Structure formats: C-alpha cells, structure tokens
Structure 1
C-alpha cells in the first residue's frame, strides 16, 4: 500500500511539473520533514546545501517536527522516517539502525562533536539518550558510508543532533523564552522544559533545563511493565559572539544524568527464559558532561573562504549496580570515558565550478574502569576485574580533502581521507595487553545529474572502515543472555564498500526520493560463541569472522494540495542482510523488517491543524544464530504490526500552542524487532508550549 502511495505521488508530481525547487530553505518544512527535499542540510557536505542538490541520501527531522513528536529520547523522533529504524532495549534509551548497522558502526555527532567514544558498543547502547531531545533544533541523518568527511565509525551513516544557532538583529537587547510541558498517559510521564535566550546583533546566549519523570509503562495487552520508569535531568548553556569582523566564537555546555535507570530486559524473563537474569540491574548513574568551543571564520583569504575550528571535551559515566539471579553477590561498576577532540574544516571556492573542502581531526579517549563485589549475606568485600581494562587509551588523527565540481547539470563529489589510530590496553587479570596502530585510506565518489529543475539522478560509491575500539578489544565479564565475554587482542579493522543510486524530487507541491543500496562488509567484528563455558555461561568473543552483505530500498514522498491545505506523505524502507562465516551463511544480525509510515495533515486554519498517520512494520523471521539465543528476540520471529495515530494542534493564544497526540488508538500489543520491551499501548500525549 505504501509503495502504491509513493508511485501515485511521483506520477502526480511529474504530471504537474512541480513548479521548481523553490520551497522553504529554512529547514522548517511542513509535515514530514523526512520526505522534504527542499530543506537545507549541513551534515552530508559540512556546509549549508539543499538536500535536493547533494548526492548523498539524507533524512532530516526539522525543528517543527521535533516539537510535534515531543521525544523522550532523540531517537524517538526518527520512528518511521526514511532509512531509520529505532530500537529500544530498556526505558530511557534508544538507538537508530541505519542500513542494518547500529551502535559504533554509525557515527553520532552533537553539534559536530563525536558522541561515539572508545567504549561505544557495536550494538544497541544507552549513550544516545544522554543527549537532551528537548534542547535540539534538528536531527540530520546521512545514510551510507561517510568516511571521507567523518572517518572510521561512519560505516552505516552519520546521525547529527544539532542545537539552535543564536541569531539576533538590531542593537537593542532582545529576550525570548519558552516553557514546555508534556504529559503522557501510557507511562504517566511528565516532561518539563524551560529556556531563556537573549542577545543583540553580534552576540547572544541561551540557557535551558529539562526534567523527565517517567513511570512504569502500560503496553497494549493492558499489563503494566515493571522496571520501566526512569528520571532524567538535563541542562544546557550556549554563548555566541562576534569577536572581530568575520570571526565568531561559540561556547556551549551540556549536562544530562539518569540517576537510576533499570535494565528492564535483564529484570524480567525474556524469550526462552523462566527467570530473569538479574535480581538487581540499574544503570546508576548514567551521565554525560560536554563542553565545546567553536571558532567560525568567514573572512576569505588565500587559503580558505570559510573555516571552523572545534575544541571539545566529553565525559560519559556508565556506572552500574547489579546482582545476578540466585547469587548473593552485589556488584558495583564504575566506568567512564573521557574524550578530548580538536577538529578543523576549511572551504575554498576555486573559480565558479569547484568548491574544495579539507580538514583535520584529532581525538583522544581515556577509559577509567573499576568493579567491586559485596556478598550481601556475609558482607565480604572484594575487588573484581573491571568491565574495561583500566587506563586504556585510544587516539586517532585524520586529514581529508574533498572536491565538489559543478558544471551545467552535472555535480560530482569526490574525496579521500587518511586515518591513523593508536590503541593501548594495559594487561590485567585475565586479559592480555594490547598495542595496535591501524591506519587506512578511505574515499568516496558521488554524482548528481539534474534531469529538471526539481529532479535529480544521484549515485554514490564509497569505501569506509572502522578500527576496533576498547569495547571490541577489551570488554571482559558477564553479558546479557547468559554469556561471558572474553577479550580478543588480535582484532583487525572492519571495512565496507557501498553503492547506492536513485532519484530525488523536490518541489513546492511534491518532494520525495527512492534510493537503492548495496553494501559489502569484510572482516566485520562479530561476537561469536567459542564453544566454551565460563562460570556457567556461554563464552563469547569478538572476532573478524563475518562477511556481511546488505542491500535495500529507501523511499519517501510528500504531496501537498494547495486547496484544501492538505498534505499526504508516506515512507517505506526495506533491508535484507546475509552473513557468511566459516560455518556457513545465515541471516544478518538484527536486521529490521520492512517498515515505514503514511499519513495526512490538514491545516484547517492558521491556528488549527489535524493529522492522522499510521506506523507499520512487517514481520521478521530471518534471524541470525545470535538472534535465536537473544532473550529480546522471539525465536519464532517478530510479528508484524501497525498502529493508528492522530494529532491535533491549536494555537490558543499568540504565545500559547496546545497539542494532543493519540498514539496506538487500537491499543495494539506489539514489540519492535530486537527491542527489549513492548511498546506503549493506547497513549494520549498532551503538550503545552508557551513562548514569551
């Protein structure tokens, strides 16, 4: 049905002639931003450029859509969008799967700085939720390897979360503020946000705080799921100012903490289990502290026309309190990663046809890790081997250059990047020392050809790689699913060659895209069963044993009728993956099924709009050997599902907007493939936004 809607929209748009690609270039595309190709992005090319004109496949969720979705975590805003499948292992957390890849295989950025660190798992993890979704202005996703501009972790793509830029006009000081409240019925949640900004031309600041209180979740079967409540506190500060003509400084601080979040799937029995793995499992606490200084130069000279220098520091705290079922041993973990980074990017126009981009990066990660055990019956205390080797370091530096050549209707993007890593892991109890220095040369070539003012043929060929990080090389100890992880000091980098091609449309009445891709991964780092038993658990180890082939189709369309003011939209994404190992061929690990959404939005008048939409996913019964023993995945396959949803928004006063969103109206009981908990049942979400 979705593909039928897409085909009908394309036919209607081509017959209408579209009227040119002159839509809103502010990123505030109405309705479904993910299907809007008349917006501006900065991630795919590291400079403002229309999504229609860049060869890369992109998904944009702008500020208007973020305010409408009111996400608990940033990834919640990507549900059903083109090429982005959202997985949630436990409450207060969530990751996005892009072209079948997740975790450290997708690069995550916040205002240009890497969220990925040395302990980022190549699997679902909780760190993305430590970015405050209420503070964001937009989310940009580049689908496919982006190793020239972004380096090793951009295997499946890049997810960038951007906070608002501060821009004021005039010499007099101006003040803006917002109070925001969001209440949800399925989990009795309450989110509050307060922010204030002020400034004048050439200088401004903003300050914001967010609080989330989420209680246990009611799913579609009417049951209340235990261990699904959490609390989160966040704060942010930003200052921007001109320090000289053509020179601007920006300084920002971000802080977020979840003081005590339960690991739901470890505290309730999963598929194939008669008892939960743990009697106690709390992330206690999870915390992110981030500071960044940016120097933006817009003063052309012989070396560059514009430039940005970033200096940043990020600390991720991943402390845990656990007790396995049937044991008296209460364990405390203290894990943190400190990332320091400096990057520079420069742009230079060479005549009227070439735009040169070049730059450098340097990042250093230091890992601190400790673990203790107390016997709750005897009080005996002992120091245990930590989750990560304490004192491990990971350094990487890179240089890159790219050229954007436009001539007539033809646009060619090419680039090369050299990356070098130095990884040092000290020897510890049960774990050998490691010293690795992998390097690689990666690159890409992208093409866009203008068939008409509003239509482009696009194609991309890219090679990417990812060096093993501290998690890949040094993680040690019990894992969910009755597994015990042993370190492997002999890992090599994994690499990918990817090709995609398709059509993009962008016009006042219609925009859309349909992109097909194929990616071949070699030496992919995969957790495999060794056949041994350690402390009664199945031993697993990361190894370069997998050859992974992924292919798929990503499609989205938006069609706007001028009278009545009605907008139709639809998305569909299909991915298929196969892994080849020495033991044979099997389906790839945790590949999403066909998924997407379709809906309609009607602007009744300036102050009132209504929207109805459906989210859907087909069943997934192509399971890997790891899926079959994962208690989060039904070994018989994940059932398909669909939900009906509606939203009404009313601007009650010039400064006050109210909205009511009704999710899962049929109270469907379902679970996203690979997730560790069921989705909410019928859920009413009331949002109030007051601006002053």
Structure 2
C-alpha cells in the first residue's frame, strides 16, 4: 500500500511538473483565484517589501486563508503544509513545540523566530538531547488567530538576520488596525468560535478595530481550552506500559492591543501583548514503584511592549524604521510526586529581553541600498527550589547581548539582478557567580565569559530564463553562538548515575551553502523548484561517554556536518474553480566526523491537494504521504524507525451570509495509525511503548466567524 501511495504521489507531481511548461493560454480565462492571488502576496523576508512571485523559492508564505483552512490553533497547524518544515514535541507536557527546518531545530536555537521583527525569548530545551521531545520547552506561545501571515525562510539566513538563523527564519506578522479599517470604514468587529476534536479544544476570539482621523486602534482577545491530544494508543491505566495520552487540561489566554498615530509621512505604533497558558498533566505513565502519583502543572507567560516608528520616504529615499521593545518570559513548572522521598519540585525559567531595531534604504544611481542594525540584551535564569528546602540549578544565571549590523545592495548587471549583503554579529554571554549553582557541583563562574563574532556574506542572483521562467542562485552563510545551556549546563546526577558537564570552550557554529532554484508562473500555473547543499562547521551536539557506572553528557563541537536536499511545489488551475496542488520535500544529512546520519532530518514528504471553490463555498481534499525512515538515515540502529504513511484530510467552507463563514474539516479520514519522525527521533522501541507517540486518529475541526 505504501508503494502504491508513493507511485500515485509521484505521478501527480510529475504530471504537474511536465504540464507547467504548457502554454498558459490553454486554460484561457479559467484561471483560479487561488493562483492569481499568489501574485498579490507581499513579503519582507529580504528586508524590503516585494511580491512573493519575485523572491527565491526557499521563501514560503502561509496566508490567513491557509491558517483558517488548517484550523490552526498551535504551531503544528501554522506550518502544517510548508515543504521541508516540521514540528517536534507536539504533545509536550509543557504545552509547547519547536520548528525544524530542513533538519535543523529551533530547540537548539538554530531557527530564528520573530514576531513583527522582534526576537522571541529563549526557552528551556531540556537537560539532555536524549530527553523525550514532549518533555522540552518550545516557542509555541504565539496566538494563531492574531496572525495575518507567516513567512518562512529556509536555509542559512545570517547575511540579513544574524545569529540564530543557521537553519532559517520563521517570521510572524500580526494584524494591524489598517487590515480592518480605513477612512471609509471606521469601525470593525469580529467574533470567531472554533473547535478541535483532536483535543476537544474550543477557542474564542474577539476583534475590535477603529480609525478616527489620524488615530487608529486594534484589540484582539483570545481564549482557548483543550484537553490532551488523542493518539492511537489503546492501553490505559498507569505505569510505563500506558500508551494512551496522559490526561491533560490546557488553558490559553492572549491579548493583543495596538494604538497608532499616522501623521503625514510619520507613523507611530504602540503594541502590547500578553500570552498566558497553563498546562496541567496527570502523568499516569510516571506512576510506578514507589511513585503513587505524579502531576505536572506548567504556567507560561510572555508579555511584551513595543514602540514602532516609521518615516515614509519618497523618491530615492525608502524612509526609516525604528523599533524598541521589551519581552518578558516567565515559565513555572510545578511537579508534584507522591513518594516516600519527595513531594513537590518547582522549576522556574525567567528571561527578560530588550531589543532595538533600525533600518533605512535609498536609491543611489543604479543601486538600491538597505542598511540596518540590531541590539538584543538578555537576562536569563533557571531555578529549581525543592520541597526539601534545598535549591538546585543546572547552570548559573547569565547576562548577554547580541549586536548586528548589515548592508545590502541590489543592482542590475546585464540580464542578471544581483543582491549582495554582508552582516557583522557580536555575541557575548557572562555567567554570574551563582551561589546556588556552585553549591550543586557547578564549576562555572563569571570568569567563564563567552564571546564570538562573525562576518556573514550572502549573494543572491536572479535572471529571467524566459518570459515565464526565472532562475535563482543563493550563496549563503550562517552563524550561531552556543546557547547558555550548551556552554554552562552542569549538574551532579550521581544518584541516577549521570553527570552533566559544562563546556566553556565551545566555538560558534558556522555554515556555508548554495541554493539553486527556479520559478515558473502563468495565469493558471505556478511551479517552484529548489535544490540546496549546506555545510556546517563546529556543529554542536551533545556527546556521552561511560566511566565506571556513570554516564557523562557534554556539548561538544564536531568537525563538520552537511545537509542537502530538493523541494518542489506546483499549483495548477486546470478548470474553472478547480485547483490542483502538489509539493515534495526530500533531504539527507550526515555527521562528517563519524559518518553517521543526522537524526534531525525528516523523511521525504509529499502533499497533494484538490480544491474546488466558488464565491459562496469551497472544499479541499488533501493527501499527505510520508516515506518510512530508512535504516541508513538514523545514527543508531536501535532507534525506532517510523513506517511510511498516507493520510487524507477533507475540509470545506461555506458563507452563510456576507458577514458569516462556516468552516468544517474531517482529518485523518481513514483513521490511519502513524507516527511523525520529529516526535520520536532517537527513541528506542525497547525502552518505550511506541503507540504512546502516535498521532490522532479521525477527528473533526470546525469554526464559525462573523465580521461586521
């Protein structure tokens, strides 16, 4: 069955690719609104506003309509259909998850996440790389209903975005008041109610916007409530053999408020956001032996205030963008165990982040220049006060900053459009003389400062190969300084025969890569292709070794690693109101030191969809096919290798009237049992009942939205 699925998926993709060269006139006026709408999508991935059709194919956009179609209520729903992108830790005990782009994960700060050009705070990613992905923190603390669109840049992006973008960038764009109101329509109100059958989740969002002269305002309020995400496990009870999802209650509230003044060429916007989520888990799988009960209560709060100033230039001057912002992350993990030795442990993670961004651009002869700067200051601390009265810490409190400055030039050379850029980054981290950390076998003091800098060049070349076909070449570099965890993580776990050892000698990761791509566009066709090869130096991985009866863990630089792959996507409006879409992502990655596979790389995935839409209603049938994880694609033969699968989803929408839209979807139509590789990588079936990590069976999502 799996082979048949791949044959059919391959045929669909091959037919789409071959027909892309057909004359667009064959479909005449039967072009689809969905295809023509792509030409209207604008992105700012290259630090300037431009049409999506004009940028390289490694830049993908998730529009608001796609978010609605996927009933996005979390990070997994946001990037569900982006080729080469996956999410790990989807059923996290912390209620959070991380994005992986082309085999590089945000769990180790290799993917940069931005909200309106503001860096999100760092999260605690786990004491060990061997830890279960559902026991790690992540950056899933952005409310999907507040998003206008999401831009995903795949591949090293340090030439413009600096440190932390080794694997790519996920850039969220939230709504502005101007998306709802203008001088003619001065008030907007909206209400959305949603339901997710996978976790019995409900969500409500209220949107209010107004414009009075030069003053505008936006207020969005969201509240969600959900239970555990169902899986295909059928064994309940307690203990390590349990395969059903542990009982869970998740509550989320988000407030987004913006006030703007638009006076002539000047615009000033004040933004406030407050995201709160509480996740209670009855950890039944942990109830074994002397542990009679195990509960985990996690509270996450992200708050921010930002002031954005823009001066709109004219003629040869682009204007000025300035932003100053402050974000605060508070994470409280309260674990209560009923045992003979301890009752309650509280784990805290705090980070305060201050940021300053500036950018300007101008036309100078045949050159369009853009320059910008960024400063980020972070104070971070993780504490573990125990019920016994003794505190513990894995690493000391730290202070650090990142500074970057870039310049980009765009000019024409014959039939070629060239865009070189260069960015300089400086990163510094200073640990404090932390008495609690030192009292718990810590060895790092304030003298163990870390500093790294890098020059990151980039060259983009674009040329018209024909009237409808454009070729792209990107020569890219990346830079990532070690995180405070990788540098300073150290703790004596001798009672568990385990030791965590800090490594203050770590070097920054760097990368060099090349990307070749093409874009074909007509009235009825869009077809994007890209092939990439990225080489990484000083790649950081956690290594372990055994001495006596104790296992030691330490982050170390390995010599080199590389990842290469291919991605393609096509959309074909083959008849009036009909749209056929297909995408494929394939990649391989290897550690060049020990010649083993990089476990973070996902297996091949194909997504095919058939959509029909009119002005009043529409429907989409989607078929997602994933290859199995082959034996040669894992670093350890003992790891569980996910089998291939094919999953069908059916969704539809209907306009009840001009103001109200109803959406309904049935996901996993055939009730297929399957695993996502990103959730189980590095797990051994001999150690865990793998049905515990299966995805949800058949379930329904629905929403109703009213606008006035």
Same fold (TM over 0.5): yes
User: Please, which of 248, 251, 254 is the counterpart of residue 231 of structure 1?
Assistant: 251
Structure-2 change in CA distance of 1:215 and 1:169 (3 Å): closer
Structure-2 change in CA distance of 1:37 and 1:7 (3 Å): farther
Aligned counterpart, 1:15? 22
Q: Does 1:95 align with 2:98?
A: yes
Could you tell me whether the CA contact under 8 Å between 1:448 and 1:457 is conserved in 2? yes
Residue 66 of structure 1 aligns to a residue whose secondary structure is helix
Deviations 1:183-204 (A, max 9, x none): 1223211111111111145432
Q: Does 1:160 align with 2:164?
A: no
Point out the more displaced range, 524-533 or 291-300.
Answer: 524-533
How far does residue 276 in structure 1 lie from its aligned partner after superposition?
12
Aligned counterpart, 2:241? none
Aligned counterpart, 1:632? none
How far does residue 323 in structure 1 lie from its aligned partner after superposition?
5.8
Q: Structure 1: give runs of 5+ residues left out of the alignment.
A: 375-379, 630-634
In 1, the alpha carbon distance for the partners of 2:492 and 2:276 equals 25
Aligned counterpart, 2:389? 381
Deviations 1:623-642 (A, max 9, x none): 7887778xxxxx23111111
Aligned counterpart, 1:488? 503
Aligned counterpart, 1:106? 111
Aligned counterpart, 1:645? 649
In 1, the alpha carbon distance for the partners of 2:24 and 2:695 equals 42
In 1, the alpha carbon distance for the partners of 2:345 and 2:592 equals 38
User: Please, which of 319, 324, 346 is the counterpart of residue 332 of structure 2?
Assistant: 319
Q: Does 1:141 align with 2:152?
A: yes
In 1, the alpha carbon distance for the partners of 2:401 and 2:422 equals 20
Could you tell me whether the CA contact under 8 Å between 2:587 and 2:603 is conserved in 1? yes
Aligned counterpart, 1:377? none
How far does residue 277 in structure 1 lie from its aligned partner after superposition?
11
Q: Does 1:68 align with 2:80?
A: no
Aligned counterpart, 2:603? 593
Point out the more displaced range, 108-117 or 83-92.
Answer: 83-92
In 2, the alpha carbon distance for the partners of 1:68 and 1:274 equals 42
How far does residue 86 in structure 1 lie from its aligned partner after superposition?
2.4
Aligned counterpart, 1:659? 663
Residue 153 of structure 1 aligns to a residue whose secondary structure is coil
Deviations 1:238-284 (A, max 9, x none): 12221x321111111111111234497xx637xxx999999636352
How far does residue 505 in structure 1 lie from its aligned partner after superposition?
1.7
User: Counterparts in 2 of 1:163-562, with a 5 A limit?
Assistant: 163-167=174-178, 171=183, 174-200=186-212, 202-220=214-232, 224-242=244-262, 244-262=263-281, 268=285, 280=294, 282=296, 284-300=298-314, 304-322=317-335, 328-329=341-342, 330-351=344-365, 353-374=366-387, 380-384=388-392, 386-390=393-397, 392-407=398-413, 409-427=415-433, 428-429=437-438, 430-433=442-445, 434-477=448-491, 484-532=499-547, 538-562=551-575
How far does residue 87 in structure 1 lie from its aligned partner after superposition?
2.2
Could you tell me whether the CA contact under 8 Å between 2:581 and 2:609 is conserved in 1? yes
Structure-2 change in CA distance of 1:546 and 1:261 (3 Å): farther
How far does residue 101 in structure 1 lie from its aligned partner after superposition?
0.4
State the 4+ residue runs in structure 1 displaced beyond 4 angstroms.
29-33, 118-125, 168-173, 221-224, 273-279, 323-327, 481-484, 622-629
In 2, the alpha carbon distance for the partners of 1:625 and 1:458 equals 32
Aligned counterpart, 1:569? 581
Deviations 1:487-513 (A, max 9, x none): 211111011111110211223211121
User: Please, which of 623, 626, 629 is the counterpart of residue 614 of structure 1?
Assistant: 623
How far does residue 370 in structure 1 lie from its aligned partner after superposition?
1.9
Deviations 1:122-165 (A, max 9, x none): 97653321111111111100111111210011111111011023
Could you tell me whether the CA contact under 8 Å between 2:121 and 2:353 is conserved in 1? no
Point out the more displaced range, 407-416 or 222-231.
Answer: 222-231
Residue 21 of structure 2 aligns to a residue whose secondary structure is helix
In 2, the alpha carbon distance for the partners of 1:170 and 1:673 equals 46
Q: Does 1:690 align with 2:698?
A: no
Structure-2 change in CA distance of 1:87 and 1:443 (3 Å): same
In 2, the alpha carbon distance for the partners of 1:628 and 1:363 equals 42
Deviations 1:44-98 (A, max 9, x none): 2111112222236111111111122121213422123222122235243232211
In 2, the alpha carbon distance for the partners of 1:228 and 1:671 equals 21
Aligned counterpart, 2:683? none
Aligned counterpart, 2:687? none
In 1, the alpha carbon distance for the partners of 2:466 and 2:653 equals 36
How far does residue 662 in structure 1 lie from its aligned partner after superposition?
0.3
Could you tell me whether the CA contact under 8 Å between 2:121 and 2:328 is conserved in 1? no
Deviations 1:332-387 (A, max 9, x none): 11211111010101111123x3211111111100013322112xxxxx32222x24
Q: TM-score with structure 2 length normalisation?
A: 0.86
Q: Structure 2: give runs of 5+ residues left out of the alignment.
A: 1-7, 236-243, 681-692
Point out the more displaced range, 199-208 or 496-505.
Answer: 199-208
Could you tell me whether the CA contact under 8 Å between 1:527 and 1:541 is conserved in 2? yes
In 1, the alpha carbon distance for the partners of 2:633 and 2:280 equals 29
Structure-2 change in CA distance of 1:6 and 1:256 (3 Å): same
Q: CA RMSD in A?
A: 3.1
Q: TM-score with structure 1 length normalisation?
A: 0.88
Structure-2 change in CA distance of 1:600 and 1:301 (3 Å): closer
Q: How many residues are paired up?
A: 658
User: Please, which of 136, 146, 150 is the counterpart of residue 161 of structure 2?
Assistant: 150
Residue 205 of structure 1 aligns to a residue whose secondary structure is strand
Could you tell me whether the CA contact under 8 Å between 1:323 and 1:331 is conserved in 2? yes
Residue 73 of structure 2 aligns to a residue whose secondary structure is coil
Could you tell me whether the CA contact under 8 Å between 2:416 and 2:463 is conserved in 1? yes
Aligned counterpart, 2:3? none
Aligned counterpart, 1:49? 50
How far does residue 19 in structure 1 lie from its aligned partner after superposition?
9.9
Structure-2 change in CA distance of 1:183 and 1:527 (3 Å): same
In 2, the alpha carbon distance for the partners of 1:646 and 1:238 equals 36
Could you tell me whether the CA contact under 8 Å between 1:90 and 1:262 is conserved in 2? no
In 1, the alpha carbon distance for the partners of 2:291 and 2:511 equals 36
Residue 8 of structure 1 aligns to a residue whose secondary structure is helix
In 2, the alpha carbon distance for the partners of 1:274 and 1:507 equals 62
In 2, the alpha carbon distance for the partners of 1:685 and 1:566 equals 23
Could you tell me whether the CA contact under 8 Å between 2:248 and 2:279 is conserved in 1? no
Could you tell me whether the CA contact under 8 Å between 1:574 and 1:594 is conserved in 2? yes
Q: Does 1:680 align with 2:691?
A: no
In 1, the alpha carbon distance for the partners of 2:606 and 2:215 equals 42
Could you tell me whether the CA contact under 8 Å between 2:209 and 2:219 is conserved in 1? yes
Deviations 1:604-656 (A, max 9, x none): x3211111111121111347887778xxxxx2311111111101211011111
